[in-house]
Amino acid sequence: MNEWLDDFRTAVAFLTRLPMPHPDGATPANFVRAHRMFPVVGALIGAAMGLLCLGLRHVGVPDLAAAALALGGGAVLTGALHEDGLADVADGFGGGRNPEAKLEIMRDSRLGTYGALILLVSFAAKLSALAVIPNGHVVPALIAAHALARGILPAMSMQLPYARKDGLARTAGRPDAATAATAAGLALLIALLSLSWTNALLAAGLAGLGGLGMAWLALRQVGGQTGDVLGGAEQIGETAILVLLAARLAQP
C-alpha cells in the first residue's frame, strides 16, 4: 500500500502543478513504476474540471463559456503539460526537414505556426464537444477521457525506441509490461465505471488508435518517442474521446 501511495504522489507531482514534495528530487526513484497511477490522477483531473464546468452551469454561466473556463482551469491545474507537448510535436514534425531538425525545433520553447494551429484546433474541438454534453454526463465524460488518454502512455513509453540520446524519457527509464498493463487496466476500469459499457469500450478503442497513430507518426518523423510525443498522444486521445462522447451523449 505504501508503494501505491508513493506512486500516486509521484504521478500527481509529475502530471499536475499541485505541491507534492519528494525526497528524491525532480525524477524520483519510483517514477517509472508510478506510470501505473497515471490514469487515476487523470481521472481526478477530469473530475475537477467536470465539477468546475457543472458548477459554472448551475450558477447561470452559458454552456460554451463554462466549458472554456473548465478547460482553462484544467490547463492551470496541469501546467498545460500535454498541450505543450502537442504544440512542440506539431512545430517539429511540420517544420523540420529531417529528424535532427525536427527534434531541435521540438526542444525550442517558442511556439510556432503549426503549434499554434494545432492548439487552436484541439481547444476548439474540446470546447464545442464539452459544451453540448448534458449536465448528467459532464463529470463522467471528463473522468473517462482524462483517464483513458493517460492510460495509453505507459505502453507507448515501453514500446517505442528513444528518439534522443538524452531527455527525461531516456533518463527516467521504461515502464515494464506489468506497469503498462496495470495502467491500461485501471484506465479501462475507470471508463467502465463512468460510462455505459458501449461508450467506455468505444472510447478505450479510440484512445488506443490515437496512441498507435502517434507512435507510427513519431517513428516515421523522428525515429521514436520523446516526452512531447507522449504529451501529444494524450491530447489526441483526450480530444477524440470528448468528441466521440459529445456525438453519442448530446441531446437532439
What residue numbers bound the domain in which 209 lies? 39-163+172-249
Distance CA 238, CA 217 (A): 18
CA distances from 90 to 77, 82, 226 (A): 23, 12, 13
Contacts of 135 (CB under 8 A, 6+ apart): 54, 57
- Tens of pLDDT, residue by residue over 75-102, are 999 999 999 999 999 999 999 899 999 9
Q: Is residue 13 part of a domain?
A: no
Q: Is residue 138 part of a domain?
A: yes
Q: Taking 90 as the threshold, does the pLDDT of residue 141 lie above it?
A: yes
- Tens of pLDDT, residue by residue over 192-217, are 999 999 999 999 999 999 999 999 99
Please tell me the pTM assigned to this model.
0.94
Looking at residue 165, its pLDDT comes to 77
Q: Is residue 146 part of a domain?
A: yes
Q: Is residue 226 part of a domain?
A: yes
Q: Is residue 25 part of a domain?
A: no
Number of domains in the chain: 1
